[in-house]
Amino acid sequence: MLATGAAGSTQPGQGAAFSLILGIGDDAAVVRAPDGRVVATSDMLIEGTHFRREWSAARDIGHKAAARNLADIAAMGALPTALLVCFAGPGETSVDWVLDLARGIAEECATAGAAVAGGDTSYAQAIMVSATALGDLAGRDPVTRSGARPGDVIAVAGSLGAAAAGLALLAAGPSAGPLPADVRAELIGAHRRPKPPYPAGAQAAALGATSMIDVSDGLVADLGHLAAASGVRMEVASRRLAAEPLCPVTSLRAAAEALGRTGWRDWPASGGDDHALAATFRRAVVLPERWAVIGEVTDGGGVVIDGSPWTAGTAEASGGWEHFRS
């Protein structure tokens, strides 16, 4: 269905060009698994739930559909290798729109070092994009959610808060107050095309990360998953969380003012959709610059910020995204 990268390669360990032996054109793709293990994940985007065509171009939606899956591969400490994509939509959907969607998917795959290996198309009353991503552990153990231990530090690679602020600006539409054009473009762009720090996943694994997760539902919610799986408490310091460059403080403050919000800290704490990576490491590990330490792991359970359970300032940011919340 979608454009693919070249099959075969000359050097191992360089993502899809190495791992994809046979791409689109047959009944199934053939993907090399040099490690002997394959990391696999799937995710979907549904029109009206995960995106709106009046807010995002087809190419943007393609980037997001790929990024959501490929970030989960990185969160296991693996290298993204291939993506299988299924598309369904109304009969009146233009061919050009679908081709732009495919271009966005292929571009995001290339950024992550992966390739589109195949997929399927069908009819549906609303546009749906479902993808399955594959990854290579390159001989390392996977980084799961259950390995965090008291004494570890909590660190984040990537950015937090911008995507949620961008969504809030789109939802407000003309009712939003004045905002510099570059700030508006930055925040809305983060919502339309998240930028997961793909190399940070394998880097964290090489550094001995004890647990890791893709921050898609909001930092508090996703750290809660680590805490529950590991049987520990995650203690976050707000001064470290809401600080540059992890959090675009100046832009978020400006957006909050334009929207008439009392504060901006809900966005990095529980906004979600930036697809940063949150991980825990032994305290003795010297972390590269891209990893910002935001707290520590202790005995107990749940997630606290500055010693207290997180209470969002707005109802829509009440602790993270939940698909079936009424």
Give the span between the Cα atoms of 99 and 72, in whole angstroms. 25
Q: Strand pairing of 302-305 and 233-236?
A: parallel
Give the span between the Cα atoms of 52 and 187, in whole angstroms. 16
Q: What angle do CA 46, 49, 51 make, to 5 degrees?
A: 75
Asked if 228 and 198 sit in the same domain, the reply is yes
Asked if 26 and 131 sit in the same domain, the reply is yes
Q: What is the pLDDT of residues 96-155, one digit of tens each?
A: 999 999 999 999 999 999 999 999 999 999 999 999 999 999 999 999 999 999 999 999
Compare 131 and 1 and report the one with higher pLDDT.
131
**Residue closest to 188 by CA, chosen among 96, 255, 241:** 255
Structural domain boundaries, residue 131: 16-136
Compare 169 and 319 and report the one with higher pLDDT.
169
Q: What are the strands, taking DSSP E only, across 32-152?
A: 39-46, 79-89, 115-123, 128-136
Asked if 204 and 83 sit in the same domain, the reply is no
Which residue type does 142 have?
Answer: P
3-state secondary structure of 124: coil
Asked if 129 and 162 sit in the same domain, the reply is no
Asked if 237 and 111 sit in the same domain, the reply is no
Give the span between the Cα atoms of 127 and 53, in whole angstroms. 9
Q: Which CATH number belongs to the domain containing residue 66 in this structure?
A: 3.30.1330.10
